[in-house]
Amino acid sequence: MKRYLIDTNHLGEAVNRVSMVRDRIQKMHHDDGIVFGTCGPVLCELLVGVILRNDSPETRRRLDGLLQLVRIWPVDLATADKYAKAYHELRKAGRALSQVDILLAALARQLDASILTTDNDFHALTNIQAENWLAN
């Protein structure tokens, strides 16, 4: 079963009034049974920005609707172990990612999921599949 883990940049686009990312998520979920998810820290990052928007209540409603299709995957001990390994892999390579991005990488490895992101930094890690639906 194909799984996608959604980074803040894609989730933020998906809660816009008009969103090709949200449309694509809905279509792939309904037509193909594709599973989409994110994690708590991504939601925290997103909600910081939602609060600042002029259309904050409407955006929050769109997010709540989207979360009917997008799972919130928990962080557990296995995720923490993969996080630590990814952190040390990056450090050894002389690279750095934000804590949220390292967590996404750990979850992607744990769930065998592709990350929807605009960030190219994930390429510094082995066994991480990333797609950018916002690139044209």
Which residue bears the tokens 């991504």? 42
Which residue bears the tokens 């193909």? 32
In eight-state DSSP terms, residue 74 is P
Statement: 3-131 belongs to CATH 2.130.10.10:
no
pLDDT tens string, the chain, 136 residues long: the values are: 899 999 999 999 999 999 999 999 999 999 999 999 999 999 999 999 999 999 999 999 999 999 999 999 999 999 999 999 999 999 998 988 899 999 999 999 999 999 999 998 888 898 999 999 999 6
In contact, 75 and 111? CB cutoff 8 Å: no
pLDDT at 1: 84
* 61: CB partners within 8 A, 6+ apart: none
In contact, 69 and 26? CB cutoff 8 Å: yes
Angle at 62 between CA 58 and CA 63, to 5 degrees: 115
Sequence spans of domains, the chain: 3-131
- CA 29 from chain centre, in angstroms, equals 16
In eight-state DSSP terms, residue 96 is -
